[in-house]
Amino acid sequence: MKKLLHEAAWERPLLCDGAMGTQLMLAGLEQGNCGEAWNLTQPERVLAIQRRYVEAGADCLITNTFGGSRIMLNRHGEADDVAPINRAGAEIARQAFGGKVGYVLGDIGPFGGLLEPYGDFTEAQVRSAFEEQAAALVDGGVDAIIVETQTSLEELQIGIESAQKAGAPCIIGSMAYDVTLDGSTFRTMMGVEPERAAEFMEEHGAHIVALNCGTGMDMVRARAAVERYRSATGLPLMVQPNAGKPRLVNMKIVYDETPEQMAGEMMPLLQAGANIVGSCCGSTPDHTRAFRKVMDEFLALKTTEPRSAA
């Protein structure tokens, strides 16, 4: 019987996949269109992307449902298909593993606005949207739900509670941090520090504390975040930094860190205690493949380390 994700992550580091959005655009998705709808209209293209990540060595796949809540899908005229889109996202990711053992992480991204009194959305509206999405992902058979790219504790809490209500076997909370202008530290757009985020997630029942995306959050900063998280929680830790910084080249957005550059910082990240490592915006299956090589070297070193005397 397969272990729960947060249990497996304690036994050995796990490798997550990389970016989906940029890969969808390379596969033909036009800027501004609904990539989540491809789970129904172009499932073979989504499957091909996720199979490449599995072939590159990923242990975990994140579903193509980042913008799969009713609030987000409504902006594309796809709100009637919330449940089918999310169930299909889970099923496609599972199919991508073929006969291999792997973990499917159901993706719930931000609802794309601000809660009252700062914005126009009520807590009830966001909760209803997240609960609907979480239920569909669990119905589709995910091994975990990741509530990702979060900047406020209020929205994060709604996501965690929605995943709990749906019966998700594992819940991951993932924050997006931005490096300050002077480079001295990092926090979310809403001012949340990593230590507070970790404490909050543990208090509210998350199983894994994570980070993804953010401005300036490279592999070195991800290691610093792991250290700060570890000072505040005993939960497993997951990190998904971007592939460097985006640049405009020939009217296209490209990210400036190669697979070799990112993988060069992988060993210190694992040594710092990261339990699950993936990559975010701009990364590719080649980044995942480079990570896999370093992770395998790390695991080989761990197995040859002499055990301390009892």
pLDDT at 305: 67
CA distances from 126 to 51, 122, 159, 171, 206 (A): 32, 7, 9, 18, 19
Whole-number Å distance between alpha carbons of 299 and 41: 40
Q: Is position 169 within any domain?
A: yes
Region 186-193: what's the mean pLDDT? Answer: 97
Q: Going by C-beta distance under 8 Å and a sequence separation of 6 or more, which residues neighbour residue 284?
A: 18, 19, 22, 23, 243, 259
pLDDT at 309: 46
Q: Is position 193 within any domain?
A: yes
Whole-number Å distance between alpha carbons of 306 and 64: 42
Region 108-129: what's the mean pLDDT? Answer: 95
Question: 66: domain range?
Answer: 5-301
Amino acid residing at 119: G
Q: Is position 129 within any domain?
A: yes
**For position 173, which CATH number holds?**
3.20.20.330
Element housing 28 (H / E): none
pLDDT at 197: 98
Q: Is position 308 within any domain?
A: no
Confidence of residue 310 (pLDDT cuts 50, 70, 90): very low
pLDDT at 251: 67
Q: How many domains does the chain have?
A: 1
Q: Is position 219 within any domain?
A: yes
| Cis amide bond preceding 117, omega within 30 | yes
pLDDT at 161: 98
pLDDT at 307: 56
Region 19-26: what's the mean pLDDT? Answer: 94
Q: By three-state DSSP, how is residue 260 classified?
A: helix
CB 294 within 8 A of CB 267: yes
Q: By three-state DSSP, how is residue 16 classified?
A: strand
Token look-up 């509670």 returns 161
